[in-house]
Amino acid sequence: MTGFPLTERALAIAARVEAFVREVVIPYEGDPRRGSHGPSDDLVRELREKARAAGVLTPHILPDGTHLTQVETATVLRKSGLSPLGPVAVNTMAPDEGNMFLLGKIGTPEQKARYLAPLVAGARSAFFMTEPAAEGGAGSDPSMLRTTATRTNAGWVINGRKAFITGAQGASVGIVMARSTPPGEKVAATMFLVELPHPAIRIERVLDTIDGSMPGGHAVVAIEDLRVDDTAVLGAADEGFRYAQIRLAPARLSHCMRWHGAATRAQEVATAYAVRRQAFGKLLIDHEGVGFMLAENEIDLQQAALMTDWCGAALDAGLPGTRESSMAKVAVSEALYRVADRCVQVMGGTGVTGDTVVEGVFRDLRAFRIYDGPTEVHKWSLAKGIKRAALAEAAS
């Protein structure tokens, strides 16, 4: 239980998703098409066709186009995360889920028909924001944005390089974030929609990263004289940073939802091992050093679920959720990483092999502590807010 009201529709959708993931998706975890840069496009298509046939493709968006509430979404996405392939199969994976949310919020009817509808139907997308650190580009600090969008009589010309672009390889829709103010002026950004692949957007390489659950991996991309007209602008020009916040708070939270499911699965596997494996004359779980780790995991999982739903409720109430999502992202990513780490420890040598899902979950959760803002950046942001509030109170 999470302590937040659960609607019948969310519970029903979540039950269908869980059954599909456990019965259909988990058997694919040993499929050789799960590469080091994420599952192949062929595997993604196969899984999504099965999800479509089962009626669980894009389950957080209803047939009439409305989106489940954030608390309802948490109920569903946690179940999708029970396998690393689950979010891929049912189309709740990053960055697609966040891109669908943003397009649903600020896209024009024409943009929704051209870009959002294919994503809901199972196409993949990419969000081009982060840039190479060696070039001084934007990372956790988006104001360092170096990719430029220059106005012309025919629209815009975009140039720059991007890094860690999840899913660029194989995506059919892209959202490109670029600086749209001249040098010397206060930095403002604009978001642009583009169909992929595009000759002006070139994948230089796909990085070898610690995680491996996201289709297409994480790419370094060159954007060279990308020409678009004004119909490609998502929302209004120069409002990209504000729109990024609309996207990022729920996107941080949906990471918490999906990976909560993954950590839950790791706990299931480690528990099954501990009640089966014997050492020193008794079951592993009967040794306090092991049993206490599994107990601590249960505590962390419950606290993570509560934190996620608390932030979801804040977003559902209409709050921006910037502070709440930073708190949730830190608390949940750190808690779930502890869960995965303990699961590896409980399973000993088996825990560091690919013989179970636990080792991959551990790697994914280590990356989660960095993705969508490292723990330290969120703490620094929260500390700035604490300072502002304290100084304002002292001055009043």
Torsion angle defined by CA atoms of residues 148, 97, 265 and 303, in that order, rounded to the nearest 10 degrees: 80
pLDDT in tens, 103-139: 999 999 999 999 999 999 999 999 999 999 888 888 8
Full DSSP string of 292-353: HHHHHHHHHHHHHHHHHHHHHHHHHTT---HHHHHHHHHHHHHHHHHHHHHHHHHHGGGGGS
Domain with CATH 2.40.110.10 in the chain: 125-237
Q: What's the confidence (pLDDT) of residue 141?
A: 83
Residue ranges, CATH 1.20.140.10, the chain: 241-395
CB-based burial label for 249 (10 Å; 0-12, 13-18, 19+): buried
Compute, in degrees rounded to 10, the torsion defined by CA atoms 116, 96, 246, 102. 0
Identify residue 186 by its one-letter amino acid code.
Answer: K
Among the residue ranges 182-186, 227-231, 285-289, 376-380, the one predicted with the least confidence is 182-186
The amino acid sitting at 54 is A
Does position 63 have pLDDT exceeding 70, yes or no?
yes
CA–CA dist 151, 299 (Å, integer): 54
User: Which residues have a Cβ under 8 Å from the Cβ of 322 and sit 6 or more positions away?
Assistant: 245, 249
Percent of the chain with pLDDT over 70: 99
The tens digit of pLDDT for each residue in 78-103 reads 999 999 999 999 999 999 999 999 99
Nearest CA among 15, 21, 40 for reference residue 265: 21
**For 247-267, what is the mean pLDDT?**
95
Distance CA 318, CA 333 (A): 24
pLDDT of residue 217: 95
Residue 19 CB: number of other CB atoms within 10 A? 13
Q: What is the DSSP letter of 222?
A: E
3-state DSSP assignment of residue 197: coil
Arithmetic mean of pLDDT over the chain: 95
Q: Is the pLDDT of residue 161 over 70?
A: yes
Per-residue pLDDT reduced to its tens digit, 162-175? 999 999 999 999 99
Chain centroid, CA 364 distance in Å: 11
- The mean per-residue pLDDT over the stretch 41-53 comes to 97
Whether the Cβ atoms of residue 8 and residue 47 lie closer than 8 Å to each other: no
List the one residue out of 108, 115, 133, 234 whose CA is nearest residue 173: 115
Give the C-alpha separation, 127 to 138, whole Å: 13
What would the CATH number be for the domain defined by 241-395? 1.20.140.10
CB within 8 Å of 359: residues ≥ 6 apart: 344, 351, 352, 353
Enumerate residues 6+ apart whose C-beta is below 8 A from 40.
33, 34, 215
Which pLDDT belongs to residue 245? Answer: 86
Tell me the whole-structure pTM to 2 decimals. 0.94
Answer whether residue 1 shows pLDDT above 70.
no
150 touches 207 (CB < 8 A): no
pLDDT at position 266 is 98
Tokens of 183: 């040098």
State residue 351's pLDDT score. Answer: 97
What whole-number distance in Å separates Cα of residue 53 and Cα of residue 58? 12
| Segment 220-256, tens digit of pLDDT | 999 999 999 999 999 999 999 999 888 888 999 999 9
Residues of the chain with CATH 1.10.540.10: 8-93
pLDDT at 2: 55
CATH 3.40.50.2300 fits 125-237, yes or no: no
Cα–Cα distance, 73 to 81 (Å, whole number): 12
pLDDT for 121 equals: 96
Pairing of strands 125-128, 148-152: unpaired
The correct answer on CATH 3.40.630.10 for the domain covering 8-93 is no
Which residue shows structure tokens 């891929």?
A: 88
The more confident residue out of 71 and 5 is 71
